[in-house]
Amino acid sequence: MTKFLNQFAQDESGATAIEYGLIAALIAVALITVLGTVSTQLSGTFSKVADKLKTANAAA
């Protein structure tokens, strides 16, 4: 049993896959945050453009 526990503690197979998974999860969270912010700003910009077009059409 002691030999098994020592081998288990020293075994690093799968550690790289877990590290890549954590990196991918971190990148996904960063992308979601950035895209959420950009979409909010972009929506505001399109609303301003639409309002200016309505004002320009009403004046014409």
Tell me: the pLDDT tens digits for 7-40?
Answer: 877 877 778 888 999 999 999 999 999 999 999 9
pLDDT(5) > 90: no
Name residue 26's amino acid: L
Is this structure's pTM higher than 0.85? no
Structure tokens at 16: 């790289």
Q: What is the pLDDT of residue 29?
A: 98
Q: What is the pLDDT of residue 3?
A: 87
* SS3 readout for 38-59: HHHHHHHHHHHHHHHHHHHHHH
How far CA 4 is from CA of 1, 11, 14, 18, 37, in Å, comes to: 5, 10, 17, 22, 50
pLDDT(49) > 90: yes
